[in-house]
Amino acid sequence: MNKFTQYYFLGIGGIGMSALARYFQTKGFRVAGYDRTETKLTSDLQAEGIAVCFNEAVNQIPVRFTKPENTLIVITPAIPQNHPQLKYFQENNFTIQKRAQVLGNITRQSKGICIAGTHGKTTTSTITAHLLYQSQVSCNAFLGGIANNYNTNLLLSAESNLVVIEADEYDRSFHQLSPYMAVITSADPDHLDIYETAAAFRESFEHFTSLIRAGGALIMRKGIDIVPKLQKGVKLYTYSMDEGGDFCAENIKTKNGEIRFDFVTPTDRINDVRLGVPIRINVENSVAAMAIAWLNGVTSEEIRTGISSFSGIYRRFNVVCKTEKIVFMDDYAHHPSELIASISSIRNLYPDRKITGIFQPHLYTRTRDFAPAFADALSQLDELILLDIYPARELPIEGVDSELILRDVKLKNKTLCSKENLLPLLKDKELDVLVTFGAGDIDKLVPLIKEQLKSK
């Protein structure tokens, strides 16, 4: 990568791509890119001096980025092969790398702490980064979400060689990494459009464990159905929320909207830790993050302070508004296991209140592969409003729609609704705890729902 002086990103508005773009911008390189839609994130990149175009035509590429000898093209798997700008770069002999390849190069030049898992990796990696960054150890971090503590997805430190990276299993991207330490939070099958079988999905995680460098460590959630393939000299640790392991929580207490617990390590414990974002699933995520921090020399007091001061991630259990009459939350959950964890955590916070969920399924293939599991998870709500599928990178699949989920949902109060009709539907409903779920564009509806609730 040393020969390149400028970087052009196809899909620059993605959460992972934008972190890389910011990284190279802060390092003094020229950076620009394309994205299909204008968002707050692309607007932020433009405000930081990064040129972003929203038209895929070749003539939209800035002239200075049309020199193949000094320009690296970075792409996301979501960019189709027939994209005009991608075809131009291919036909003119530009060096083109996937985002994961670029991250892999960064991990080979540093001590990569790579957080993998079907779910929990964004929260765990962000807590890990916060614990390290606010301590004397410090770190760099490429995050899969906007950390509320820093209002960014990129952390940089001149003092530290540690870099926290969210290790994405989609398209086997995490096989490009060279971890110093790794965490596996979960390995529930997903992305079967890529892997085809659950066995192949788990084998992919097993291969990921073989990439951890000698002298490093794997911290794996207790009970995960994979067999690590560790190099000689790599230590294996297990963790859990309250099921034992090398690292775990004990004496978990929920009272007055607070969660406190004792953090247990192989040699000592940190008593009465207060969780900054009091969601029960965050106890488990925090245990993994605290394990990494502890193994890298963060002190007990720094761990205690860091967990208490962690203020969450955009679209991860965000409390949008809270009054005496209603609580409105927004969450990124888009896999059945994530929905179960999210709904149970909300139920734990509000055990005696009616929970209404609005869910936007993400991808036709995921809906096809996990429709019964989605139905079971969503049946844990008191009321469900189900939106149409957000296709992202996919074309429609015959016979696959939201009705595939809805028909097996075991609720009396369940409704299929278009995005356009959601606000009118909510207007006349008696709502108590309302939660929006999904990884598509449902977040664009959140401020509109909030305004309508305030007007009521």
- Rounded CA gap, 41 and 447, in Å? 16
> Has domain 318-455 been given CATH number 3.40.50.720?
no
- Displacement of CA 252 from its chain's centroid (Å): 25
- Of 218, 213, 241, nearest to 228 (Cα)? 218
Neighbour tally for 267: CB within 10 Å: 7
- Rounded CA gap, 243 and 170, in Å? 29
- Rounded CA gap, 140 and 134, in Å? 11
Residue 2: the pLDDT is 66
Query: Do the two domains 6-99 and 110-309 of this chain adopt the same fold?
Result: no
- Rounded CA gap, 26 and 342, in Å? 36
> Mean pLDDT for each consecutive 10-residue tract of the chain (456 residues)?
88 93 94 92 95 96 93 91 96 95 92 94 96 98 93 93 93 92 93 86 96 97 95 97 96 87 97 92 96 98 97 86 90 91 88 95 94 97 97 90 97 96 94 95 94 87
Q: Which residues pair with 420 in a beta bridge?
A: none
Residue 428: the pLDDT is 87
- Rounded CA gap, 180 and 168, in Å? 16
- Of 397, 398, 405, 412, nearest to 437 (Cα)? 405
Query: Domain residue spans in the chain?
Result: 6-99, 110-309, 318-455
- Rounded CA gap, 157 and 137, in Å? 10
In degrees rounded to 5, what are phi and psi of residue 268? Answer: -155, -170
Neighbour tally for 220: CB within 10 Å: 26
> Has domain 6-99 been given CATH number 3.40.50.720?
yes
- Of 33, 36, 62, 37, nearest to 45 (Cα)? 33
CATH topology of domain 110-309: UDP-N-acetylmuramoyl-L-alanine:D-glutamate ligase (3.40.1190)
Q: List, in order, residues 6 or more apart from 395 with CB less than 8 Å away.
A: 364
Terminal CA-CA length for the chain: 55
- Of 358, 363, 402, 399, nearest to 382 (Cα)? 358
Query: CA-CA-CA-CA torsion for 150, 155, 157, 162, nearest 10 degrees?
Result: 130
Residue 112: the pLDDT is 96
Residue 244: the pLDDT is 93
Q: List, in order, residues 6 or more apart from 352 with CB less than 8 Å away.
A: none
